[in-house]
């Protein structure tokens, strides 16, 4: 508990109370949370200004605001993504015995939310929650290619870190993003770790937005075809997972 920020902890406690019992006023919320009424009011006002709670003026009671609803919807979507992805990861893992994972975009990085690990002695341990840059590697480039234009503009406006000699320069990265959007998948040959071949395919939600990347990575020694054998099975898994999440491809 040494790293707990008291005000954040209290604010989140109040937010949880509002979620569990909407319609309470500051007096009751103060009593249930153990926070003084004055402090509870200041915290609730801050949460209201950020859109996490909404105060009903006439009754002076609180309910969740739009920002909380957006977080809730995102959480439901991500939980559904992970739950539905498991069988596809297992099927790809059983077919190739190579590392398979699902990553989402989180700001200017990617975040691993699900994985299947190879049983080979030489494999790539990628724990859930691990982060990687958005500008390098198969999953990162794919998620960047389908991200809002402002995200790509921010990455391309700055110097991109080089992890290996194969990490793309800004000019080549810009060209690569267009190629990824056109061909519908991404390829990486040693862009983050030398001698690693990776292929990534897009996972879409019901609105057609790319919300994740599903990828396979292997040592170059086990992928002499530069990952060609992974492409069609991976695209098939991505399309099946997208369909399970509500995506319907145009006729």
For residue range 145-196, what is the model confidence (pLDDT) as tens digits? 999 999 999 999 988 899 999 999 999 999 999 999 999 999 999 999 888 9
Q: Does any domain span residue 47?
A: yes
- Bridge partner residues of 215 (DSSP): 101, 200
Residue 199 pLDDT exceeds 90: yes
Residue 101 pLDDT exceeds 90: yes
Contact 161/134 with Cβ under 8 angstroms? no
Q: Does any domain span residue 84?
A: yes
- Bridge partner residues of 213 (DSSP): 103, 202
Same domain assignment for residues 23 and 140: no
d(CA 19, CA 8): 16
Burial of 48 (0-12, 13-18, 19+ CB in 10 A): middle
Same domain assignment for residues 48 and 149: no
237 band by pLDDT with thresholds 50, 70 and 90: very high
Query: Which of the residue ranges 68-72, 100-104, 210-214, 217-221 would you say has the lowest mean pLDDT?
Result: 68-72
* pLDDT, position 1: 45
Same domain assignment for residues 18 and 83: no
- 34: domain CATH number? 1.10.10.10
Q: Does any domain span residue 148?
A: yes
For residue range 134-147, what is the model confidence (pLDDT) as tens digits? 999 999 999 999 99
Same domain assignment for residues 35 and 90: no
Question: Domain total for the chain?
Answer: 2
Percentage of the chain lying above the pLDDT 90 cut: 60
Q: Does any domain span residue 166?
A: yes
Tokens of 77: 């979507």
* pLDDT, position 73: 66
* pLDDT, position 232: 97
- Bridge partner residues of 186 (DSSP): 200
By residue range, what is the domain housing residue 84?
A: 74-244
- 110: domain CATH number? 3.30.450.40
45, 64, 83 - which closes a domain: 64
Q: Does any domain span residue 250?
A: no
User: Is this structure's pTM higher than 0.75?
Assistant: no
Contact 212/237 with Cβ under 8 angstroms? no
Same domain assignment for residues 149 and 235: yes
Same domain assignment for residues 115 and 238: yes
Same domain assignment for residues 43 and 140: no
Same domain assignment for residues 55 and 140: no
Same domain assignment for residues 39 and 93: no
Query: Which of the residue ranges 34-48, 69-83, 153-167, 220-234 would you say has the lowest mean pLDDT?
Result: 69-83
Burial of 158 (0-12, 13-18, 19+ CB in 10 A): exposed
Higher pLDDT residue, 73 or 28?
28
Largest distance between two CA atoms of the chain = 70
* pLDDT, position 103: 94
Same domain assignment for residues 79 and 37: no
Query: Which of the residue ranges 58-62, 188-192, 199-203 would you say has the lowest mean pLDDT?
Result: 58-62
* pLDDT, position 76: 64
Q: Is the dihedral of CA 48, 54, 55, 58 positive or negative?
A: positive
* pLDDT, position 216: 96
Burial of 155 (0-12, 13-18, 19+ CB in 10 A): buried
Q: Does any domain span residue 36?
A: yes
* pLDDT, position 184: 96
State the average pLDDT for the chain: 90
Q: Please state the three-class secondary structure of 73-137 as a single string.
A: HHHHHHHHHHHHHHHHHHHHHHHHCCEEEEEEEECCEEEEEEEECCCCCCCCCCCCCCEEECCCC
The torsion defined by the Cα of 202, 205, 208 and 210, in degrees rounded to 10, comes to: -30
Same domain assignment for residues 200 and 105: yes
Q: Does any domain span residue 55?
A: yes
- Number of other CB atoms surrounding residue 245 within 10 Å: 19
d(CA 92, CA 102): 12
């Amino acid at each position: 508990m040494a790293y707990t920020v008291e005000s954040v902890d209290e604010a989140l406690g109040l937010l949880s109370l509002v979620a569990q019992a909407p319609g309470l006023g500051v007096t009751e919320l103060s009593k249930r949370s153990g926070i003084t009424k004055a402090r509870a009011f200041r915290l609730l006002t801050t949460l209201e200004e950020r859109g996490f709670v909404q105060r009903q003026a006439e009754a002076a009671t609180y309910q969740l605001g739009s920002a909380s609803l957006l977080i809730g919807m995102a959480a439901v979507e991500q939980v559904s993504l992970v739950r539905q992805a498991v069988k596809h990861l297992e099927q790809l893992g059983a077919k190739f015995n190579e590392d398979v994972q699902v990553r989402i975009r989180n700001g200017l990085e990617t975040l691993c939310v699900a994985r299947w690990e190879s049983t080979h002695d030489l494999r790539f341990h990628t724990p859930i929650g691990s982060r990687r840059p958005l500008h390098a590697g198969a999953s990162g480039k794919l998620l960047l290619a389908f991200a809002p234009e402002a995200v790509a503009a921010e990455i391309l406006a700055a110097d991109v870190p080089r992890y290996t000699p194969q990490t793309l320069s800004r000019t080549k990265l810009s060209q690569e993003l267009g190629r990824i959007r056109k061909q519908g998948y991404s390829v990486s040959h040693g862009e983050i770790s030398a001698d690693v071949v990776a292929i990534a395919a897009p996972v879409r939600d019901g609105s057609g937005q790319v919300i994740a990347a599903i990828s396979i990575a292997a040592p170059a020694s086990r992928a002499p075809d530069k990952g060609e054998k992974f492409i069609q099975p991976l695209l098939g898994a991505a399309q099946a997972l997208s369909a399970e999440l509500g995506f319907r491809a145009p006729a």
